[in-house]
Amino acid sequence: MDYHKPVLLSETINGLHINPSGTYVDTTFGGGGHSREILARLKNGRLIGMDQDLSASSNIPEDTKFLFIHGNFRFIRNYLRYHRIVKVDGILADLGMSSHHIDNANRGFSFRYDGNLDMRMNSYSLFTAEKIVNEYAANDLLKVFRSYGELVNSHKLVKAIVEYRADCRITRISQLLDAISACIPSKGRSKYLAKVFQSLRIEVNREIVNLKELLTHSVQVLKPGGRLVIISYHSIEDRMVKNFIRYGNFEGELHKDIYGNYKLLYKSINKKPIVPSETEIRVNNRARSARLRIAEKTTD
């Protein structure tokens, strides 16, 4: 199955600071590229691979040290408890889209192909981009495009969608492109449409809520000294990860305890995000927007 090359592979594995006897979680297993490198460094350790897309199970390695969990990483704590795993040494999340998803027209993730307005990472979910585009009130649509795409002409965009859907239900990508054609700038067309589709994808898959849950629960399941390694691909995710690592919250504010002291949950290993080299981008263009942040848990 055609998944993308693992992004920032050596930087990610080095960031996990792998203990051969440790327990690690790859919360976005996908094609298994990162997982295979982790397994290669384990002796009597254990790796848990998670993915909400069941098609990722076709990439499961034949290795007794590996356990696959079909599920959303927002429930990481519950899944680990179910398997009687209390604490782990490292958590990895690569928040990017794989070629397997983008290049499959039937999944509806890309504006380059015509297909159903789907965009579900979990194909068992009943909530699709079609439902958002056709059934959300105008104000709710506006919130989606403003919050997740940071689109400057969100009002015009929503008005165009609402007017188009009044005549017929928008079920295909080609219809959506037709509906918003007057909103798309002549320069930067691809960048604009990428933001439109990003907004819908984030809403369909509840990506911001899920990431908040993962980061919050990471504090409870990581051992002191355990590593949190996150690869993000847009400013909304990266800002959340940065704030949580630096401040222990998503608002970016230092909070004091009852004694007036600041209690930090994590120590940043890299002050600035690690980005792909020009060489990696030439080989894998989809890595160009990747931002890697590494943190170490400070206390229990």
* DSSP string over 229-249: EEEE-SHHHHHHHHHHHHHSS
Helical spans, DSSP H, in the chain: 9-16, 33-40, 76-82, 99-102, 129-135, 138-149, 154-165, 173-179, 189-205, 207-221, 235-247, 278-283
Calpha distance 176→238 (Å, rounded): 28
Token pair belonging to 163: 């007017």
Calpha distance 56→101 (Å, rounded): 11
pLDDT for 103:
72
Helical spans, DSSP H, in 83-137: 99-102, 129-135
Domain with CATH 1.10.150.170 in the chain: 104-205
DSSP state of 17: T
DSSP lists the bridge partners of residue 227 as: 90, 296
Q: Which residues contact 78 (CB under 8 A, 6 or more apart)?
A: none
Low-confidence ranges of the chain (pLDDT < 50): 1
Domain 9-99+207-297 has CATH 3.40.50.150: yes
User: Taking the CB of residue 37, how many other CB atoms lie within 10 A of it?
Assistant: 17
pLDDT for 169:
98
Calpha distance 288→21 (Å, rounded): 34
Measured between alpha carbons, how far is residue 123 from residues 105, 133, 199, 210, 245 in Å?
Answer: 14, 18, 19, 17, 32
Q: Which residues contact 167 (CB under 8 A, 6 or more apart)?
A: none
Residue with tokens 């990471």: 218
Amino acid at 269: I
- Among residues 254, 149, 161, 144, the alpha carbon closest in space to that of 191 is found at 149
pLDDT for 173:
97
- What percentage of the chain carries pLDDT values higher than 70? 98
The alpha carbons of the chain give a radius of gyration, in whole angstroms, of 20
- pTM, entire model: 0.93
Domain with CATH 3.40.50.150 in the chain: 9-99+207-297
Residue with tokens 């890697």: 292
pLDDT for 299:
79
Fold of 104-205: DNA polymerase; domain 1 (1.10.150)
